[in-house]
Amino acid sequence: MKILITGATGFVGTALSKKLLDDGHELHVLTRDITHLPSLFVNPKVKVFEWKNTLTIPPEESISGIDGVINLMGENIAGKKWSEEQKEILRASRVDSTKNLTTLLNEKLNSPLKFFISSSAVGIYPTNKNEILDEEAKIGNNFLANLCLEWENAALTIKKTSRIVIIRTGVVLESHGGALKKMLLPFKLGLGGPIGDGDHFMSWIHLEDLVNIFTKAVNDSSYEGVYNGVAPHPVDNFDFTKALGHALNRPTLFPVPAPMLKIMFGEMSSVILDSQKVVSKRLKDNNFVFLYPSVDSALNKIFKRS
């Protein structure tokens, strides 16, 4: 198929684009800067379209002949402290840009898409509740939950498509990007440790499993609606720290005080400190098979320990 993808040069987008190309699909890549593209996109199966200002409508030629859309764009949620200005950047990069994309599709597509797949996050759910949260759980009420809800509602404005899929991702694990890349240095130096008392839960997924969820959603027409992109076993910070230390063969003796993170990162520290036990009932019902269902299997794969 010919697939339009936004956010293709990001951490998840690059891995997903490679998988889609390996599977024989063609890509239309919408990007803000065509001058700094990975070599992956220098490919006869890839057409690149510059969309410098995502607060405007994308170039119309980018949707010519496409069969489906994968929408991953959004400013890094943990890239900077959440000032009011940064919050607006986070919102605009997800909500306004998605609305502009769907406006183009609704107005200019000649025939309906086979699918419109949009990313979201498990941050949409309540935090610090001692309960399992699946796709039927209620929505939270904080900045991140409200942002995710707006983001999803923007995706739902697409009318010219056979189906809409929204994937709410957890913390994505791989050594070359995301949260794990930021954690590695202190752990490699033997200075890693649990955060606070280590009892807050993290809902996570190995990058390869997340890519497989997206590709399943592309190829399997039974995928429709909301799916939680998380592994089946959330893990508390103490056990995650222990597993990471074991995978790196390093001690984990230096706890990080939670108040220090709150001072350093302000409201954004909630991404690190809030607890959520999110699972996916819908992936289980679809018989999706995880390659890395436990955090030990994921980290041992990443760091190549048997």
Tell me, which fold does domain 2-171+205-230+279-286 have in CATH?
Answer: Rossmann fold (3.40.50)
For residue 17, the one-letter residue type is S
- Over residues 60-86, the pLDDT tens digits come to 999 999 999 999 999 999 888 999 999
- Over residues 246-257, the pLDDT tens digits come to 999 999 988 888
Residue 306 is predicted with a pLDDT of: 44
3-state secondary structure 142-196: CHHHHHHHHHHHHHCCCCCECCEEEEEECEEECCCCHHHHHHHHHHHCCCCCCEC
What is this structure's pTM?
0.95
Cα 230–chain centre separation: 10
Asked if 185 and 244 count as a contact pair (C-beta separation under 8 A), the reply is no
- Over residues 216-248, the pLDDT tens digits come to 999 999 999 999 999 999 999 999 999 999 999
- Over residues 79-102, the pLDDT tens digits come to 889 999 999 999 999 999 999 999
Q: What's the farthest any 2 CA atoms get from each other in the chain?
A: 60
Please tell me which residue, 206 or 270, carries the higher pLDDT value. 206
Retrieve residue 119's tokens: 């990313």
Q: Is the predicted pLDDT of residue 1 greater than 50, yes or no?
A: yes
Residue 305 is predicted with a pLDDT of: 63
Domain ranges of the chain: 2-171+205-230+279-286
Rounded to an integer, what distance in angstroms lies between the CA atom of residue 216 and that of residue 289? 11
Please tell me which residue, 161 or 269, carries the higher pLDDT value. 161
Residue 178 is predicted with a pLDDT of: 87
Determine the average pLDDT of the residues in 91-120. Answer: 97
Residue 301 is predicted with a pLDDT of: 95
Asked if 36 and 235 count as a contact pair (C-beta separation under 8 A), the reply is no
